[in-house]
Amino acid sequence: MSTLQINLSEPLQQFVAGRIAELGFDRADQYFEQLLEVERKKRLEEYYYEKCLEGLASGSGTRITDENREAYWNGIKEGIMRRLEERRKKESVQ
């Protein structure tokens, strides 16, 4: 774990101290860690929401049946493998 030092104005220090006491934390880092975790989860939720909207806007879906299931998943696997290979090539050039 790494250390991060922050400077707060006196009113903010008092606010943080009050929140630590209200929430039952022992230390300020626990309070800030909780704040950051809430923010991280919010950003992930927003990211996945946007990705879902993109998917919905991309056109009609593909109906998966017993007849096309294997070909469908093989196509997805090939696309993923192709993108991984492109990423590896790009990273090796840098």
Asked if 46 contacts 40 with a C-beta cutoff of 8 angstroms, the reply is no
| Per-residue pLDDT tens digits for 22-74 | 999 999 999 999 999 999 999 999 999 999 999 999 988 888 999 999 999 99
> What is the model's pLDDT at position 94?
72
Q: Which two tokens stand for residue 35?
A: 């704040």
The residue type at 4:
L
> What is the model's pLDDT at position 1?
82
> What is the model's pLDDT at position 79?
95
What do you get for the CA distance between the two ends of the chain, in Å? Answer: 29
Of 32-36, 37-41, 75-79, 87-91, least confident by mean pLDDT is 87-91
Number of C-alpha atoms within 13 angstroms, CB side, residue 76?
7
| Domain regions of the chain by residue span | 9-61, 62-94
Give 23-32's long-range contacts (Cβ < 8 A, gap of 24+): none
> What is the model's pLDDT at position 41?
98
